[in-house]
Structure 1
Amino acid sequence: MSTRTAVVTGASSGIGEATARQLAKQGYHVYVGARRVDRLEQLAAEIGGTALALDVTDEESVRAFTDAVERCDVLVNNAGGAKGLAPVLEADLDDWRWMWETNVLGTLRLTKALLPKLIDSGDGLIVTVTSVAAFSVYDGGSGYTSAKHAQGVLHRTLRGELLGKPVRLTEIAPGAVETEFSLVRFGGDAERAANVYKGIDPLVAQDIAEIIGFVASRPPHVDLDTIVVKPRDQAESGRFARRG
């Protein structure tokens, strides 16, 4: 297989879907993975990619997915998310487990499994989508921010461990991006999710996808290490200039 290939996790919606479209536009054959296979199959048909069921919290699912990937030049660790906004005193341990399994161990499973193929490609790239929550904290966000801090540390540790290998690493830390993120966080409460973005102009999935596309288009000697991107209306994690 001579065509360069990319793997995008969490590709059934939002940043993952937009990234898969962007990389396909740039000539990659894209393997898209997520649990919602119906959405994946439609996406793969539109971009000429390959849809594969993937649950990053399940070892067998990850093994089946990565075994089916013949070659990997780019890995985009995008699967993740938040659940709840409870203070530490009221923390839901099941929510914490889900956030750590999805954001941290999910990234570990995919990266570990595909690293040999990324190295063998001769010019591999690992893009991990973390969050501004990987660099700061906010009230009620300890479960998510701790998971994103850990995910970021996992990714950054690889920068040293892979030094001298033909693999580049880029961490992309977005601020407020209007996707299904808040809808998942608040258990499908559409009104509460919409209020997160009320009065601001948030980022959209395509903004992040275009950045990932730019990173993937750099020559092999250029490593864009860490990219923090926020809406103009956002300063820190919970600090916004809201209108109206």
Structure 2
Amino acid sequence: MTNKTAVVTGASSGIGAATARALAAEGFHVFCAARRSDRIETLAHEIGGTAVTCDVTDQAQVDALAATVGDSLDLLVNNAGGALGIAPVVDSDPDQWRQMYEINVIGTLNVTKALTPALIASGAGTIINTGSIAGHVAYEGGGGYTAAKHALAVMTETLRLELNGQPVRVTEIAPGMVQTEEFSLVRLGDQAEADAVYQGVSEPLVAEDIADAITWVATRPHHVNIDLIIIKPLAQAAPHKIHRES
């Protein structure tokens, strides 16, 4: 895998950071893209990659990312995303819905548009979008997030159809419950409430589990396209069905 290049957005923590480390271990030179410069600079130094400060919702910063990457790219991992709030639809804050749509959908669109020419130019490109089971199953309190992730899922499917005949694979990785340091805290805004999400769940997924799946997809022979992987911990049968030990 020497001389392969990868871009990972949302690389400053959680799944993004774990993915950058896993890809580097497979020989990829990783462009670590995220808004928090200090974090990605530390990560890039650790793995021998390149830090690129980038808010995926800012077109100028996305264009700068594409310029840094150059004319050829082997792998794009669109991982930047997130959830805000758990209010019922009729009580939701429209601004939170807009924020979730901007980062999960429009941000992914911006980066994909900017980097697809380089993926095609590589002759063997791969796009992996980090979705969610929220993009495949609705659940109460998740209206804004499920709407955004459903949009990401169908955008991924459409992209695969439209790139058919080009040397670019397109995959969605859709995790269920993953315990990371920030996802639930950002969503709920309270550490105690964030901790309660995982209470009684003996083994939720961790970021490295998703990074392992992403790396496995990226390292298949290029004629093999994995359309979709839905990954849940054993304790989770569905978003609303989770075994918790007392």
Does TM-score exceed 0.5, indicating one fold?
yes
Structure-2 separation of matches of 1:14 and 1:238: 23
Structure-1 separation of matches of 2:213 and 2:99: 28
What residue identity is the alignment partner of 1:206?
Answer: E
Moved beyond 4 Å, runs of 4+: none
The yes-or-no answer on 1:216 pairing with 2:218 is yes
Q: Deviations over 1:10-35 (max 9, x none)?
A: 00000000000000000000001111
Q: Deviations over 1:126-161 (max 9, x none)?
A: 000100000011111100000000011111101110
SS in 1 for 2:233: coil
SS in 2 for 1:227: strand
Q: Deviations over 1:180-221 (max 9, x none)?
A: 11011012x111001111111210000000111111111111
How many residues align? The count is: 242
Shift of 1:165: 0.7
- Counterpart pick for 1:230 among 223, 229, 232: 232
The yes-or-no answer on 1:3 pairing with 2:18 is no
RMSD: 0.9
What residue identity is the alignment partner of 1:215?
Answer: V
Matches within 5 A, 1:127-206: 127-179=128-180, 180-187=182-189, 189-200=190-201, 201-206=203-208
Shift of 1:72: 1.2
What residue identity is the alignment partner of 1:237?
Answer: P
Task: Identify, as 1 or 2, the structure richer in strand.
Answer: 2
Shift of 1:238: 2.1
Structure-1 separation of matches of 2:215 and 2:90: 41
What residue identity is the alignment partner of 2:132?
Answer: S
Give the TM-score normalised by structure 1.
Answer: 0.98
Give the TM-score normalised by structure 2.
Answer: 0.97
Structure-2 separation of matches of 1:147 and 1:82: 9
Q: Which runs of 5+ in 2 are unaligned?
A: none
Shift of 1:42: 0.4
The yes-or-no answer on 1:53 pairing with 2:41 is no
